[in-house]
Chains A and B, each alone.
Chain A
Amino acid sequence: EEQVVESGGGLVQPGGSLRLSCEASGFSLSSYQMHWVRQAPGRGLEWVSSLGEKNTGIYYVESVKGRFTISRDNAKNSLYLQMNSLRAEDTAVYYCARDFDHRQNSLYYDSFDIWGQGTLVTVSS
């Protein structure tokens, strides 16, 4: 079964750091673009960051640029999100999602087809 499992969440003080992990099983994470998506308590979904295949195509939402870093370890089949200078507004459940490309009529369409169960990050003093 293809799945991803996030870990590394927890309680951290404002200004602190945390590293989230996303371990894939049933597929090779290196073959796919991967994303982090977060959801603040009682709020909607917010895309956070993407990492393309072969570690190209790195993108971030404006609010985390310069503070968060996405990376991948192919040997461990894992995706990471290093979060520094954390703020209260970063409090959320963080999901890892696989991006599957569907080909239709010579065009490719993205889809976030596999999601983890999420890991909760709480930034509070």
Chain B
Amino acid sequence: ATQMTQSPSSLSASVGDRVIITCRASQGIRNDLGWYQQKSGKAPKLLIYAASTLQSGVPSRFSGSGSGTDFTLTITSLQPEDFATYYCLQDYTYPRTFGQGTKVEV
């Protein structure tokens, strides 16, 4: 199975900060990667697919980059509603695998 190593596992940030989360695949996955946001007690929400394409309705302060094995999610100017846990998901091969998650907190 393709392992997804996400870092950091948690980070402290303030409103207005720039946040960068990384995800590394154990093998090349082209750009078959998505990023998801999950708030406490809620279902995950799709932010980005194909590594860098913003899902409709998602604010432009979110961006993704990368290809092959290394990927990043960047949040420019963190907003209060962005405090949540973020997951990467590779959809290149089965089994689908998520990163361990990154909790963004105050």
Contacts and interface: CB of A to CB of B under 8 A. Distances in A.
Interface of A: 35, 37, 44-47, 50, 59-62, 95, 102, 104, 109-113, 115-118
Nearest to A57: B94
Contacts of A45: 36, 38, 44, 87, 89, 98, 101
A7 to B, nearest CB: 15
Chain B interface main SS type? loop
A54 B34 CA distance: 25
Contacts of B1: 62
Given A59-B95, A102-B53, A112-B44, 18 more contacts: A35-B96, A37-B44, A44-B101, A45-B38, A45-B87, A45-B98, A46-B98, A59-B94, A62-B1, A102-B49, A109-B50, A110-B34, A111-B50, A111-B55, A112-B46, A113-B55, A115-B43, A115-B44
Interface residues of B, number: 26
B100 interface: yes
B61 interface: no
Contacts of B34: 110-112
B32 A110 contact: yes
Contact of B43 (A46, A60, A110, A116): A116
Name the residue in A62, A102, A111, A118 with the highest tally of chain B Cβ atoms < 10 Å from its Cβ: A111
A37 B34 CA distance: 15
17 contacts: A35-B96, A44-B98, A45-B89, A45-B98, A45-B101, A47-B95, A50-B94, A50-B96, A59-B95, A60-B95, A109-B49, A110-B91, A111-B49, A111-B50, A111-B55, A113-B46, A115-B44
